[in-house]
């Protein structure tokens, strides 16, 4: 009978992460697992999703990928599991750790839950990203779990963009950039830029302009069957750059187009609790669920 397999993803140059990794690997191996290790400093490039070199070519044979780190490390793990049926289990060693399921002090319990297969699997929507550049014979394809962001590369001046939904013109303006996010990414870069929080079961694409010089430049959400297309217009004084999940980038010369649409292939996350998303928001953002009047009344009792 072959051994059960687990891939552990962490950052080799972070002492706290390496200590947690040694602890997790020891417990997993003691339970009979074959454990592989991957350093999240390695990354794929935009358009390389089908040819990315993995530490373990049999990642698809793993039961789960255990991630020790922050959301950035989880996004690296997503590069490894994208296109497979392997779920990600995140143990937060960073700050907010919105994508993580457990905290550092819960590591031993999380490992035991993996050993006992005591977890559920949740699907998180992904967007597919297609880039067409002038003088390039073929479009390039990528994807994002959180967001695809178009931004100006030099600091001076703005980029001029045109936005279409389902190939119908919507608006054009000068701006610092455009964020196109999933529901998962609505609590990341898009949230910092003033976009709304979307519950994970909301399908579609959230569009958030960055410092737009326009009257109609509010965040909007398009439906799950729609595609958002952004063009770096010919009149733009600057080229742009596309970044997916803060990791995979590609230059966008003037005249380039980026089309973002919901993907039919989700990413999988292992969940140790059935707590609703509302509770996760309250916990991760330390939201005040008790008003000062209620707190004062309880203190006087």
Per DSSP bridges, beta strands 257-262 and 127-132 are: antiparallel
Catalytic site includes residue 118: no
The count of residues in the chain is 301
Sheet with 257-262, strands from edge to edge, namely 140-144, 127-132, 257-262, 228-232, 159-165, 168-175
Q: Tell me the C-alpha distance between 72 and 14, whole Å.
A: 13
What SS3 state is found at 150?
Answer: strand
| 192-222 b/e (C-beta count within 10 Å ≥ 16 → b) | ebebeebebeeebbbbbbbebeeeebebbbb
Q: Tell me the C-alpha distance between 258 and 231, whole Å.
A: 6
Check 12, 40, 48, 71 and give the catalytic one. Answer: 71
Q: Tell me the C-alpha distance between 221 and 266, whole Å.
A: 19
Q: Which residue's entry shows tokens 């916990």?
A: 283
Q: Which two tokens stand for residue 7?
A: 């891939």
What values do phi and psi take at 115, rounded to 5?
-55, -40
- Active-site annotation, residues: 71
């Amino acid at each position: 009978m072959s051994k059960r397999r687990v891939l552990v993803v962490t950052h080799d140059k972070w002492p706290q992460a390496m200590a947690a990794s040694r602890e997790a690997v020891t417990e997993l191996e003691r339970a009979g697992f074959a454990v592989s290790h991957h350093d999240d400093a390695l990354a794929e490039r935009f358009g390389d999703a089908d040819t990315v070199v993995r530490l373990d070519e049999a990642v698809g044979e793993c039961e789960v990928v255990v991630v020790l780190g922050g959301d950035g490390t989880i996004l690296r793990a997503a590069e490894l599991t994208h296109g497979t049926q392997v779920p990600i289990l995140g143990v937060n060693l960073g700050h907010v750790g919105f994508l993580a399921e457990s905290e550092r002090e819960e590591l031993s319990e999380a490992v035991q839950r993996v050993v006992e297969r005591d977890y559920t699997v949740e699907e998180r929507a992904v967007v597919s990203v297609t880039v067409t550049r002038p003088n390039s014979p073929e479009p390039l394809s990528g994807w994002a779990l959180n967001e695809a962001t178009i931004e100006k590369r030099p600091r001076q001046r703005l980029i001029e963009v045109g936005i279409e939904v389902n190939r119908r013109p919507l608006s054009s303006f000068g701006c610092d950039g455009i964020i196109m996010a999933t529901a998962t990414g609505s609590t990341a870069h898009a949230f910092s830029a003033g976009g709304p929080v979307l519950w994970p079961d909301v399908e579609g694409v959230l569009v958030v302009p960055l410092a737009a010089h326009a009257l109609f430049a509010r965040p909007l959400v398009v439906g799950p069957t729609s595609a958002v297309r952004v063009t770096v217009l010919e009149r733009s004084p600057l080229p742009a750059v596309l970044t997916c999940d803060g990791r995979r980038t590609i230059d966008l010369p003037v005249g380039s187009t980026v089309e973002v649409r919901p993907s039919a292939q989700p990413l999988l996350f292992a969940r140790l609790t059935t707590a609703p998303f509302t509770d996760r928001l309250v916990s991760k953002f330390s939201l005040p669920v008790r008003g000062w009047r209620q707190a004062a009344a309880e203190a006087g009792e």
